[in-house]
Each structure stands twice: as structure tokens, then as C-alpha cells.
Chain A
Amino acid sequence: MLVRRDADDLREIRPRTQLGALIVVCAMLVLVVRLYQLQILRGEVYIVQSIANFRKTLFVPADRGVIKDRKGRTLVENRPSFDVFLTPAFCKGKERDEVLDKLALYLRLGNEDVERIKLDYQKSWFSKDKLERFKPFLVLLDIPRDQVDVLEAHKTEMSCVNLIPTPHRQYHAPQSLGHVLGYMSEVTPDELEDSPEFRRGQTIGRRGLERRWERELRGADGKQNIAVDAKGRELDKDTQEALIPEPERLVPATPGNNLVLSIDEKLQKAADTAFIGRAGAAVVMEAKTGFILAMVSRPSFDSNKMSGRISRAELKAISDDPLKPMLNRVMNENYHPGSTFKSITSALGLETGVVTPSSTIFCGGGYTMGNHRWRCDKPQGHGPLDLRHALSHSCDVYYYTVGDRAGLDALSDMAKKFGYGQPTGLDLGREISGYLPDSKSITPESGSARAHAINASIGQGEINVTPLQQAVAYAAIANGGDIVRPQIVKRIESPDGKVLREFPPEVVRKVGVKDSTLAVIRDGLDAVVNEPGGTGYRSRLPDIHFAGKTGTAQVMKLGKQQKLDPTTVAYLSRDHAWFAAYAPAEDAEIVVVVLNEHGGWGAEAAAPAASKIVAAYFKIMREETAPPPAPPLVAAPAKEPSVATSTVVQ
């Protein structure tokens, strides 16, 4: 039964076992060296990584600074609300689909939303950066209270979903101040790449003041560090406290700074109501300081809507709208100034000596240069007119003559002095310069320099201005020659109300014309409103003495190739109506410029609105300062209102 002991074989095996033992010891030493490398040499690195594993950093959104009007009334504030975030790393495969189904049910998501969330999930999951999947992305913005409750109730089923209390913007006058305030929206992937200070899902200011003062308003997000397990579930309180040191548990957010604007909420509302056109702009500016009290650009957009959940279809509707709601017409669109430009041509005439206040020019209903005849708006002619009457009756022939005699370049230079052809410097994002033709820029095919001068003298031809430039120019006429820089922010305050930065009024330069010249123009502008026969006479106010100038800007004829329905064509071929005013006439406090796109005649479609805005301003001032000061009285009572109605400006 016993097997013969094979001594030979065993003798052979023994040395091999010794070799085997050596190999075993070496192999085990390799492991020891590896452990030394991992645990001792790189231990610090891995301890950090193991902490990063269980430590989940939730951001604590900072309260964005509020924006107030000049009287401290809130224009934008933050209201408490909740955003839903999802961390891809914590739900994979089947769990992901279950969570998405649940979210769709609880949040009543449409297909479009579900697809978007799936796409975001994929993007983050398949990102080259493996840590990307640990970063929460935005599922849905600003969910209603009842959905917050539902999600809270189902919290344990969806450990990858987080409800983050995020203050959202509440705009009090969302439409009317849309262009001034702007709106908020999520940072784009490109922006995230460019600026590491942004986090995913963060909303930042777009357009207007929200964008311009993003850095001041934003504040700094705080952080909350919590301990989670591998599935992203929050651990119990004791473990939390053991794993995360006290000072690191919560880093509070730093709220953003507040903006105090020069905008007057009441006047803004009044201006918005007074402006009845479909499209256009109205701006009210302090004549001496340049602070903007009200600013309307229509059509506008709803800042609340734009900042909240807005569907792709709604966004497309806005971008496809032919009236371009996103365009701030006050500073980013230009128009022919029409007859409002006659104030500038007046200054040109007086400064160059082409006319004097008392010299007259005969209007026979037209002006002939070469073989072309420019008609006056009054075909039968105004007869002999001095400057005052030429301005108040808005006689074209008078200004054709002045423009032709002084020349295009002189006219262009004078316009430049008043601030046209250059940005006014309002710190509210992009601003266009408008356009002033001169003898170098015109092309021979478009007519001679003389013809251009004649066209430009009444604000037609190639000359283009923005409503804001008009406000600056008329402010200079009204305030005695100061070109002011329009401003809309008065100061920046810390959250506790300390003034951090004050913006004093800025006079850019003197306009550079004689005081007497401005006085003559003011006299004429006074007559426009307050003298029978003045083109703005119908819009005069019984208790407030204001001055201004009507304007009707001819619009380019539309080409037939544009496929627009007849009513739109009819609308788009109508003239733009202007009114530029200041009040009180003798010592102006405010300048009001109204532009009613395709509104028709300035006297009818712009002057009444300007007049209402002026009235509203003094009413607000009276209410605010008790006892109310006596308003300036109208200099001359109305005598022949019928004349004004029959007079039409061109």
C-alpha cells in the first residue's frame, strides 16, 4: 500500500522549492514596495482624493444685489425659489431612466425638456474630464411651491437630484424697463469654458444693467460641504460632523451690491403709458445733469419671462418678430431726425452768419437748386419768415436756404458739436453712433454736396440719429450749452446701504456756440409749443411752460420684393414721428424725446405723448415736494388753435 519513496525525484524538487521560496519573497517584496509607494509616498494625494469622494460641495447662491429707482423704490428684487439639479455620477443606467421618468412626472416635463435633460446628462457623462459627471447640472429652473413639496417627499428615491434654493429675479416693471434692466439666463457652455468663476447652472445678467453691472450685482456664492456615500446619499448628522470639520461645513455667501438708478419708477410708468405707438422710444433726461429718469423702448421683452423658463418657440417668436423687441431703440437704432434737426440748422445759420435772428427768408413753397425743386410742406409757401417763425412753423424752405448757403460740412460739424455722429457715452452696453454725411463720405451718384446739404438741413437724406443723441442735443440747447453724458446709475450701495460708489453728473464739454444763438433757438422752440401756428401748439399744457420741436422723418420706400402683407407695408411706409422737448422752457429741468416709429406726423403722433410725460413729471414732483411749488405758467394764452391743426411739419 505504501508507495516507494522516490528519493531521486525529491532531490530534484528540493532546490526548486528553494528557488520557489525566493520568487515568493521577491513577489511579496514587490507588493510591499508598491504599498510603500501608494501609502507612504503618495498617501497625501490619496487621502485628499478619498476626502473628495465623500465630500459633496453644494453651492449656496449669493443674493444678487437689488436695483432701486432714484427714490429707493425697488425695481428688481429676489424672491425665494428652487432650482432642480441633477448629478449624473449618482444615477446610472436603469436608475437614470427611473429618475428621469419620476422627474418628468413630478415636474410635469414636456418631451422637449426630457430630451434636453438627457442630452445634458450624456454630455456630462461622456465628457473627457471624469470629474464632470460629479458636477450637478440644471434640470429645471424656478419650480412652483407644490412641486417643491412633491420632490421633497420623494427625495430618498432620487439621491442624484438636488433642490437648490436659488433666489430668482423679480422685475417689477418687466416690460417697460426690459431694455434698461435686462434679464438673467444660464451661462452657456462656452462662457463656462472662458470664465472658471462661473459654475454650471448659474444665471448671469444679460443685456442692460444686469449685464453691465454683473460683477457688482452677483456677489459671491457660498459653499456647503456635506458628506455623502457612493450613491450620493447624505449621511447622518454624527457621521457628517465626524467627517467634515466645523469651519468647512458652511461658507456663507456674500450678497451682491445694490444699484440705485436715476430712473423714477412713477415717471417711467407714465412715459410707458403716454407712449402709444407700436414701436419707438421715449427718453426723459435731466437737462443739466444727464441722469435718465425714464427710458422706453418699444416693443420690449418681459424680463421675468426671459429670466425664467422660456421655451425655444417663444424665443424664436421674439427673434423673428419684425419689430425686433430685443433692440433698444433709445441707443441702438437710428432714424432721420426730420424737422427736429432744424434746431441744429438754426444754430448753423446763426453761427455762420448766414442768417440773423431778425433776417428773413422768403418761402414760396419750394427751393430750387439746379434742375431739382425741394418742396416746402406748405405748398402755397409761408411767405417771408424770420428764424423764430421758421422754427415754430417748421418751414422747410428757410432751412434749405440756410443749409445750402452754409454747406454740408459746416452742417455736419455743427451736428457733431451737439453730440450727433458719436456715442453719447451712456454706460448701458453697446451704443451706435448714428451717421452724419459730409463732402468726403458722400458718393457722387447720390447727389451733389449741395443737394445733400439741402436734404440734411431738414434732417433728411443720409443723416441718422438716435433718440438718446436727440436728448443730449436738446439738453445742450436747454441748459445753456453743456453736452452732458447720459447716465442711468446714480450710485452703488453695499447690501447694508453704505454708498460704495457715487456717479456725479458729467459735462463732457461745452457745445461751442454763442449763448445768444442758443437763446434764439430756445425762443423759437418756445413758440413751437406756445404760439398759435406753432407745430406743437396743440400739445401745449395749461400750467406748464415747455418748449420743443416736432419732426416727421420720411421713411425709405419699401421694395416690392419684400413679402409682407399690405397692412404691414402700409405701416412700414408711414413716417416716423418725433418730438423733442424740454421743460420748463425758461430753466429746463428735463428733456423729453419721443420717437414713434411709423407713427406719422410728429405733431400728432409724438408731441401729445411728450406733453403728457412733461405733465406727469411735474405732477410727480409736486406730489413729492410738499408744499407743491407753483408750476411755471404758460406765457401766452391760446388764440387760434385751428391754425396749428392745419400745419404739418416735414
Chain B
Amino acid sequence: MSLGVTEKKLDNLHWPLVLCTLIICSLGVWNLASATKSAPVLLALVQFRWMIFGAVAVAVLLIVDYRYLQTFAWPGYVAAIGLLGSVAFFGKRVLGARRWLQIGSLQIQPSEFVKLAVIVILARWFTRDETGARKGYYGLFDLVRPFVLILIPCALVMKQPDLGTAVVTFAIAMTMVMFAKVKWRDLIVMLATGAAAAVFAWHRFLKDYQKQRVLTFLNPEAYAKGAGYHAIQSVIAVGSGQWSGKGWGEGTQNQLAFLPEQHTDFIFSVWAEEHGFLGAVVLIGLYAFLVLAALDVAANARDKFGSFLSIGIAALFFWHAFINMGMVTGLLPVVGVPLPLFSYGGSSVVADMLGIGILLNVSLRRFMF
């Protein structure tokens, strides 16, 4: 490839997406600085470092055509499963769950990268598999293999236990399936059967204390300090922000630690408390824009693989943002799901940046044959 091509490529870079990402990252660091004002370590700075690291990685990887990912899909998937497996044995236990892997001074959360691996392997499967093309659609039985690919990591994540990540991973995968040639009827049958089975099992076979146990098992933090405490405090934080918020660093729920996990899962409450309805709507708008941009990349991708990758990434950002903000505002039950590029966490930030990188890569090469 000549230098000229590279220059042309830069013109093709999805600049609105880059800008939107930069704004979210900046607001995220700024907000994290408020949330961790009283923390001894400057966590916002650590977060910023991870963002830079992610951005550099993205810049470097932009040189490589995303289609090479097809080659790395299986090794990447196997490596991700391997990491998840080792978490089960060597993982660091925090609040009753093994989620982190300690490598030297570095703590990584493999489940964040598993999402990417699942997106890549599903994109590859839907690209390579000819059943859809031959039959014109995917029947339920044709989808057994991708489901196995999805359920293995989901099961391992559930075992940690990390209900939130398992749910999000499953939701991302399901979203991708919905974009394949699956009949609407089959989709509805799948969803309805799954939901009915779950509801039936829950009400018919489980006793109250068992339900409580299941909930506690799946979601230890929420029950560690008395059920509902997190949710209540979060809703108070959000609601008390009113129109324009209490101001940066002035949120009492945040600063006086009434808000639990304020720098990770409940970071949106901090934002909503300190910047009010207006600030919150702006942020929701940014995430919506990000997801819509990803869908735009998917619609305009050069090939099926790129398209499915982009849909996966769009789903990644959408489900994280929606579940997180829904949980924080009391619409959804409390499950630990980070808000992309806002919640503190190196693994999640790097994974999110890589996702953005994939989008940019796909969009960059949309006109190439």
C-alpha cells in the first residue's frame, strides 16, 4: 500500500465517531475525578492512562485490515475462554466473586475481553457459514453451533459469579443473531420459550429463600449491605440532581459515600447528581450517537464480516449503556454492568477502546475491494 492510500484512509476515518468518543472520554475522566475526590490514589489519572493506552493501540491497529481478525477469531476466542477458566482457579476474590486475574501489579478482568472475542467469533461464523445463503434463512437448529459458542463464556462468567456481564454478553450475541437471516417467527419462539421457561421455573420450583439465595449468589454486592440499599441511594442521587445538578464535586450522595460503588457501576448517578437532568440528557445523547454511528458503520461496511463486527460493537455499547443507566435509575435490577468509558476500570476501558478501534477500522475500509 502506498502512502497516498494511507492519506486517503485518514479522510475516510469516521471523524464524528472519533469526536464523540473523545468527548465521552473527557467527560468520563472529569466525572471520575469528582467521584474519587477523596480517594488516596488519583484514579481519574489512572483511567486517563488506560484511555491513552487504548487510543494508541487503536491507532496502531488501524494500519492492519480488520479482516485479519477472522484469522485471529479462534485463537482469540480460545485464549479468552482460557483466561476465564484460569480466573475460576487463580482469580482474586472481591466481595464474594472471582473476577480479576492478577498478573504482576496488573489486575485484568478477562470477562471484558471475552465480549470482544464473542463478537469476533460470531461475526466470523455468520460470514463463513453457508447455511444461511443456501437456505435463505437460519432455522433454529442451524443456530446450535453459535449458541454453544455463546453459552460457554456466558456460563463461565455466571460462575464467577457476574450476572451483569453474563447478561450483557448474551444480549450482545443475541443482537448479532437477530441481524443474521433468522426468521422473526423463530426469534420470537426463541425469546418466548426462554422467558417462559425462566419465569415458570422461578415461580414453580423455587421457594422464597431459594430465590433469595439465587439472587444473592448471582449478585453478591447488591445483597451484601441489605437488599435495595444501592438502588435506593442511587435513585436519590439521580433525583436530587434536578434540572442542572449540584455542581462538580458538590454531590452529597457521591462525596459523602452514600452512593455505593460510585466510581464503577454507579458512576452515572454521580454524573446525574452533579450535572442534573440537562447533563444526563447530554450524556445519553452521546451514547445514542455512538451506537447510531456504529450501526451506520455496520450498514455501510464493505463486507458481511465488518458489518457483523460493527453490529456487535454497537450492541456492546448499547447494552452496557442502557442496562447501566436503567439500573442506576431504578428501571432495571441492580446487576454489575459498567458504563462504557465512564466507569472506572482498565480492562473495560481498553476493551471499549478496542471496540471503537474495530468500528473505525471497518469504516475506514468501507470503499476498498
Contact = CB atoms under 8 A, between A and B. Distances in A.
B295 A24 contact: yes
Interface in B267-317: 272-273, 276-277, 280-281, 284-285, 287-288, 291-292, 295-296, 298-299, 301-305, 307, 311, 314
Interface in B132-146: 132-133
A230 B266 CA distance: 16
A501 interface: no
A31 B325 contact: yes
19 contacts: A4-B303, A6-B133, A16-B178, A16-B179, A24-B291, A27-B318, A28-B322, A31-B284, A34-B330, A35-B284, A38-B239, A38-B329, A39-B243, A44-B242, A46-B237, A46-B240, A50-B236, A50-B237, A231-B257
Contacts of B277: 35-36, 39-40
A53 B252 contact: yes
A231 B326 CA distance: 27
A372 interface: no
A92 B132 CA distance: 57
A14 B295 CA distance: 9
Contacts of B252: 50-51, 53-54, 243
A10 B243 contact: no
B253 A53 contact: yes
Q: Which of A4, A6, A38 is packed against the most chain B CB atoms within 10 Å?
A: A38
Interface residues of A, number: 48
Interface string B248-272: 0000110011100000000000001
Nearest first, the 5 A-B pairs at minimum CB distance are A46-B239, A43-B242, A50-B240, A230-B257, A38-B239
B14 interface: no
Contact of A54 (B243, B258, B301): B258
Contacts of A44: 242
Given A13-B298, A38-B235, 5 more contacts: A9-B181, A30-B331, A38-B239, A39-B242, A46-B238
A556 interface: no
Contacts of A6: 127, 133, 303-304
Interface in A9-52: 9-10, 12-14, 16-18, 20-21, 24-25, 27-28, 30-32, 34-36, 38-40, 42-47, 49-51
A12 B253 contact: no
A32 B280 CA distance: 8
B136 to A, nearest CB: 10
Contacts of A8: 133
Contacts of B70: 3
Given A6-B304, A39-B280, A40-B277, A53 B239 contact: no
Contacts of A39: 238-239, 241-243, 272, 276-277, 280
Contacts of A21: 292, 295
A62 B10 CA distance: 76
A17 B311 contact: yes
A17 B318 contact: no
Contact of A47 (B225, B242, B285, B301): B242
Interface in A28-85: 28, 30-32, 34-36, 38-40, 42-47, 49-51, 53-54
A640 interface: no
Contact of A13 (B179, B284, B296, B330): B179
A318 to B, nearest CB: 42
B179 A230 contact: no
B280 A229 contact: no
A28 B236 contact: no
B181 A235 contact: no
B205 interface: no
B239 A24 contact: no
A49 B70 CA distance: 53
Interface of B: 67, 70, 127, 132-133, 175, 178-179, 181, 225-226, 233, 235-243, 252-253, 256-258, 272-273, 276-277, 280-281, 284-285, 287-288, 291-292, 295-296, 298-299, 301-305, 307, 311, 314, 318, 322, 325-326, 329-331, 369
A2 interface: yes
B53 to A, nearest CB: 29
Q: Which of A18, A30, A39, A42 is packed against the most chain B CB atoms within 10 Å?
A: A39
Given A46-B236, A46-B240, A10 B304 contact: yes
Given A34-B329, A243-B252, A5 B280 contact: no
Q: Which of B225, B304, B326 is packed against the most chain A CB atoms within 10 Å?
A: B304
B239 A43 contact: yes
Given A20-B295, A32-B284, A43 B240 contact: yes
B236 A25 contact: no
Given A3-B67, A53-B258, A35 B253 contact: no
B272 A5 contact: no
Nearest to B291: A24
Interface of A: 2-6, 8-10, 12-14, 16-18, 20-21, 24-25, 27-28, 30-32, 34-36, 38-40, 42-47, 49-51, 53-54, 92, 227-231, 235, 243
B318 A24 contact: yes
Given A31-B322, A54-B256, A24 B292 contact: yes
Contacts of B329: 31, 34-35, 38
A230 B303 contact: no
Nearest to B70: A3
B307 A10 contact: yes
Q: Which of B239, B280, B292, B330 is packed against the most chain A CB atoms within 10 Å?
A: B239
Nearest to A3: B303
Contacts of B179: 13, 16-17, 20
Nearest to A242: B250
Given A17-B311, A243-B252, A49 B240 contact: yes
A580 B132 CA distance: 116
A17 B240 contact: no
A49 B295 CA distance: 41
A35 B281 contact: yes
A4 to B, nearest CB: 8
A230 B257 CA distance: 5
A95 to B, nearest CB: 11
B200 to A, nearest CB: 27
A595 B79 CA distance: 99
B288 to A, nearest CB: 4
A61 B369 CA distance: 84
B239 A9 contact: no
A28 B284 contact: yes
A5 B242 contact: no
Nearest to A243: B252
Contact of A3 (B127, B178, B237): B127
A10 B258 contact: no
Contacts of A243: 252
Contacts of B285: 28
Contacts of A27: 318, 322
B299 A17 contact: yes
B298 A17 contact: yes
Contacts of B226: 92
A115 to B, nearest CB: 24
Contact of B314 (A5, A20, A43): A20
Contacts of B298: 13, 17
B256 A92 contact: no
Nearest to A53: B258
B291 A45 contact: no
Contact of B305 (A3, A16, A34, A47): A3
Contacts of B181: 9, 12
Nearest to B318: A24
Contacts of B301: 10
Contacts of B242: 39-40, 43-44, 47
A92 B242 CA distance: 32
Contacts of B257: 229-231
A35 B181 CA distance: 36
Nearest to B178: A16
Nearest to B250: A242
A48 to B, nearest CB: 8
Contacts of A53: 233, 236, 252-253, 256, 258
